[in-house]
Amino acid sequence: MSEKQHKAEHRNRPTGEAFMAFMRDGWAPRTGSLPELTEAARYAAARREVLAATFPGERLVVPAGGLKIRSNDTDYVFRPHSAFAHLTGLGADREPDAVLVLDPLPEGRHRATLYFAPLADRDSPDFFTDSRVGEFWVGARPTLDSASAELGLTTRHLAELDDAVAKDVGPSGLAVRVVREADREVAGIVDRIRTQAGLASTEAVEASAQADAELSRALSTQRLVKDDWEVRQMEEAVQSTATAFDAVVEQLPEAVRRGRGERWIEGVFGLHARHTGNGVGYDSICAAGDHATTLHWIRNTGEVHEGDLLLLDAGVETDSLYTADVTRTVPVSGTFTEVQRRVYDAVLEAQEAGLAAARPGNRFQDVHAAAIEVIARHLLDWGLLPEGITLEQTLDAQEGQFHRRWMVHGTSHHLGIDVHDCAQALREDYVEGELREGMVLTVEPGLYFKADDLLVPEELRGIGVRIEDDVVITADGARNLSAMLPRTADEVEAWVQGGGRRG
């Protein structure tokens, strides 16, 4: 059986010349001038210079990635690989299958070229037949000239990529590195080129794999410190997130009344995220009652009842793909019970300790250490830790850590173009690294007492609290980007009672 027979075809595709001519003719001329260089592209150029200086004399290949099938012949909304977005200034859903190539120049710098599938001419069948790139289906795409003007890059048709990557590659010639995880097909092209260039020995393959990993790590590490434009993007993301949080609090009575309240909350937040930005930066956690004790509760299928605590962990992603990551835990009825407030205040005290430790010169891990000491002390005071254990013993990294039963996660992570940004950076640069001006991170301690946890008093079971803010390290401390949202128990109660209106 032929390959054609394996795949069913349900579309009627006329091929008559008269039909083709009819579809090609009668269109108004394209209008409009070339776009101006964007602010994002200007900052991206400086980032490319930093990367090029890290790998002098080598060709660097950074793919955007391709479309991914969601179901049968429908695709997920495209999101470019973070390294590609960071180095080009392209965000939102641009440009599937594009590849950025940095070519070394004799004077030690690199020339950046963007390879992509540009707007198809109207006399091309792709114009009306290609459901992935055809203008009839997905709208007009940029031309080579318009992309070059917008991004300040040399642009070439994607069909030229293979020859461009292969040029001068060899054992005694040019070395090439690729961000492998961004696009398997592009990684396969690079592997084939290496093989054809005589780099197929076991040692050469291992060296190439190591070289690619070093490139990905460098790209991740480079994002640890944000430039001015990135900090402004984070401010925008957080401001939009705060507005969406207000809308959720306003809608709490509806979430209770309508049923499936977690879904209602998810939808309200998503509406504002999509309206003010690209959408949500990650799947929102809309966890009421005992669901709040599941750290990554993203099913959001539960009811929201009066008397519950609602833990909302959500962030708006800007069109440039920078995302906020904020958590608030609020009493649905507008008033904490005595036990809920006790847990909330303990978490707030831990967060204050973490925020105080987020300052230049401290280590990233100091933020967690400061917050978790407060958490452990409260658990000890409440009699929840094993009998006879001391605070110092439970904080011991090897023999202790009993407090982790009720707070298993870390207190902080870097934040930016990924919600867990810079994840490929080495431990010595990340966890053990020194906090520096321009770093953006979360501070998010919590306490989670599951409904079936028999080691805690019944009154605590089913209570989950997390408080999370986004901070940027400054020259002499840190600035809380999400400080506009209520944090203390009294402020949160007033917020809910006021229907989401902040004082």
Identify which of 302, 301, 349, 309 has the alpha carbon closest to the alpha carbon of residue 328: 309
Percent of the chain with pLDDT over 90: 87
Reported as a pLDDT band with limits 50, 70 and 90, residue 138 is confident
> Per-residue pLDDT tens for 280-321?
999 999 999 999 999 999 999 999 999 999 999 999 999 999
Identify which of 288, 268, 265, 221 has the alpha carbon closest to the alpha carbon of residue 436: 221
Report how far residue 232's alpha carbon sits from residue 156's, in angstroms, rounded to the nearest whole number.
Answer: 31
Residues 6+ positions from 468 with CB-CB distance below 8 Å: 313, 325, 326, 327, 328, 351, 442, 443, 444
- pLDDT surpassing 90 at residue 2: no
Global pTM value: 0.95
Please report the pLDDT score of residue 4 as a whole number: 42
Q: Does residue 143 contact residue 151 with C-beta atoms inside 8 Å?
A: no
Residues 6+ positions from 285 with CB-CB distance below 8 Å: 296, 297, 298, 300, 311, 312, 313, 314, 327
What is the average per-residue pLDDT within 489-499?
98
Kindly list the distances between the CA atom of residue 189 and the CA atoms of 77, 83, 144, 218, in Å, as whole numbers in the listed order.
25, 19, 23, 22
Ramachandran assignment for 370, one of left (phi > 0), alpha (psi -120 to 50 degrees), beta (any other): alpha
Identify which of 162, 143, 225, 470 has the alpha carbon closest to the alpha carbon of residue 323: 470
Please report the pLDDT score of residue 7 as a whole number: 57
Question: Over 93-155, what HEC string results?
Answer: CCCCCCEEEEEECCCCCEEEEEEECCCCCCCCCHHHHCCCCCHHHHCCCCCHHHHHHHHCCEE
Domains of the chain, each with CATH number or no CATH: 35-222 (3.40.350.10), 228-497 (3.90.230.10)
- pLDDT surpassing 60 at residue 6: no
Q: Write the DSSP assignment of 16-61 as a string of letters.
A: -HHHHHHHHS-PPPP--PPPPPPHHHHHHHHHHHHHHHHSTTEEEE
> Per-residue pLDDT tens for 333-376?
999 999 999 999 999 999 999 999 999 999 999 999 999 999 99
> Per-residue pLDDT tens for 435-468?
999 999 999 999 999 999 999 999 999 999 999 9
Pairing of strands 326-331, 58-63: unpaired
The pLDDT mean for the chain works out to 95
Kindly list the distances between the CA atom of residue 185 and the CA atoms of 248, 330, 362, in Å, as whole numbers in the listed order.
42, 46, 42
- pLDDT surpassing 70 at residue 412: yes
Residues 6+ positions from 388 with CB-CB distance below 8 Å: none
Report how far residue 322's alpha carbon sits from residue 414's, in angstroms, rounded to the nearest whole number.
Answer: 12
Identify which of 444, 431, 421, 423 has the alpha carbon closest to the alpha carbon of residue 397: 431
Q: How many CB atoms lie within 10 A of CB 485?
A: 21
Q: Does residue 447 contact residue 347 with C-beta atoms inside 8 Å?
A: yes
Which of the residue ranges 74-83, 119-128, 453-462 would you say has the lowest mean pLDDT? 119-128
Return the ∠ at Cα 324 (arms to 341 and 74), rounded to 5°: 120
Helix or strand run (H / E) with residue 233: helix 228-250
Reported as a pLDDT band with limits 50, 70 and 90, residue 31 is confident
- pLDDT surpassing 70 at residue 243: yes
Looking at 251-307, which runs of residues are DSSP E strands? 279-280, 285-288
- Residues recorded for the chain: 503
Would the CA dihedral through 25, 27, 32, 34 be positive or negative?
Answer: negative
What is the average per-residue pLDDT within 158-168?
97
Q: Write the DSSP assignment of 392-427 as a string of letters.
A: HHHH-TTT--GGGGT--S-S--B-SSSSSTTTTS-T
Percent of the chain with pLDDT over 70: 98
Token output for 346: 């303990």
Please report the pLDDT score of residue 24 as a whole number: 86
